Amino acid sequence: MTVSYPPLEIVFEDDALVALVKPSGLPTANAEAGQESVYTLLKRRRPVGAFIGIVSRLDAPVSGAVVVAKTPAAAASLAAQFRARTVSKHYLAVLTGRFPAPLETWLDWRDWMQRQPGHARSTIVERPPPPGGGRDSQTASPPTDIAPKEAHVRARVLRRTGEVSLAELEPSTGRRHQLRVQLASRGCPIVGDRLYGSRLPFPDGIALHASKLLLAHPLTAEPLDIRAPLPDTWRRRFPALLPPQGEAGPRRR
């Protein structure tokens, strides 16, 4: 059965790109047959044959800011920025367990991630041996179809109340399930993320939200600050954790 979604919330749009707030539960692209995605919803509102370039993605249960190119040139520019790690990405997450640092203390995590073919979960693995092998390569894990990839994030906890914490996350890489795995592996899974060990339910996907993207406009190179407001369900579920309203809203700097 196809799930019905409200119209996409567009926070910025011009001739080169559209920035929107993806609701939790909606895939960014490549949805199963008959299911909606950001791509299919944008395709429906654009002229027939219009270009739609997906240059940033969020897992289906994650909400927040997504940027989509409207021309091939814009797609190439934006994709290059993501590859070069010049896009500044900011997330908020509500965690269970004990974050391994005091409040407001930034931690810098660098891991190697891998997903076995056919497995839903990604995992953190030992750093692969350097090209060319060496003694360490003799005892390395057997190769898989998907090689380990580096995953980096800066993380800190802003507030705590009871058994949950509000965390701020700034990843420089964008691996599959990256933040979910890096947090769960340190004993503080995201609320609602049963796949990675959370026991607390969440009514709206998982408590992970892409709150801000800072990038260069693909045509003018002008800094573009794109912000996505938190879903109302967050404030109802965690009123003691969340910052005052009014922090969201896209703007050029």
Residue 3, domain member (yes or no):
no
29-38, 41-50, 62-71, 239-248: which has the minimum mean pLDDT?
239-248
The CATH number linked to 225 is 3.30.2350.10
**Residue 22: closest CA among 73, 59, 76:** 59
Q: What is the pLDDT of residue 5?
A: 72
* Strand, coil or helix: 77: helix
**Residue 205: closest CA among 224, 229, 227, 231:** 231
Q: Are 182 and 196 in contact (CB under 8 A)?
A: no
Q: What is the pLDDT of residue 138?
A: 47
Residue 70, domain member (yes or no):
yes
Residue 138, domain member (yes or no):
no
User: What gap in Å lies between CA 8 and CA 21, rounded to an integer?
Assistant: 7
Half-sphere exposure in the Cβ direction for 212 (13 Å, CA) = 16
Q: What is the pLDDT of residue 242?
A: 86
Range of the domain at 225: 9-129+143-252
Residue 75, domain member (yes or no):
yes
- State which H helix or E strand residue 147 sits in: none
Domain tally, the chain: 1
Residue 22, domain member (yes or no):
yes
Total-model pTM: 0.88
* Strand 9-13 to 208-216 pairing: unpaired
List CB contacts of 207: < 8 A, sequence separation 6 or more: 93, 94, 95, 190, 191, 192, 193, 234, 237, 238
Residue 136, domain member (yes or no):
no
**pLDDT per residue as tens digits for the range 38-61:** 999 999 988 998 999 999 899 999
**pLDDT per residue as tens digits for the range 93-115:** 999 999 999 999 999 999 999 98
Q: What is the pLDDT of residue 4?
A: 66
Residue 103, domain member (yes or no):
yes
Q: What is the pLDDT of residue 252?
A: 44
